[in-house]
């Protein structure tokens, strides 16, 4: 069931804390594993994580512009 608060939140755009949390979780995946230096980290995986974080930010911006 949709409440008036849900409608107000959707109309106001994305929740900045939720967007921040999603991006931080994704960027946290970029930290190299223990004993592994940044030069040997899988660049393809890093690129995918960065693309996902970018997508989260783009969706938030689009939602904010529509709201």
Give the model confidence (pLDDT) of 40-65 as tens digits.
667 788 889 999 999 999 999 999 88
Sequence-distant (≥ 6) Cβ neighbours of residue 1 within 8 angstroms: none
Helix residue ranges, H only, the chain: 4-12, 16-28, 43-66
Q: Mean pLDDT over residues 10-29, rounded?
A: 87
Sequence-distant (≥ 6) Cβ neighbours of residue 30 within 8 angstroms: 41, 46, 49, 50
Distance CA 64, CA 67 (A): 5
- Locate tokens 């693309």: which residue? 51
Higher pLDDT, 57 or 12: 57
Residue 3, pLDDT above cutoff 80? no
């Amino acid at each position: 069931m949709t409440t008036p608060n849900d409608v107000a939140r959707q109309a106001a755009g994305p929740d900045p804390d939720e967007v921040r949390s999603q991006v931080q979780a994704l960027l946290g995946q970029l930290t190299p594993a223990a004993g592994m230096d940044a030069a040997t980290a899988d660049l393809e995986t890093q690129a995918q994580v960065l693309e996902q974080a970018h997508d989260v930010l783009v969706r938030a911006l689009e939602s904010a512009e529509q709201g």
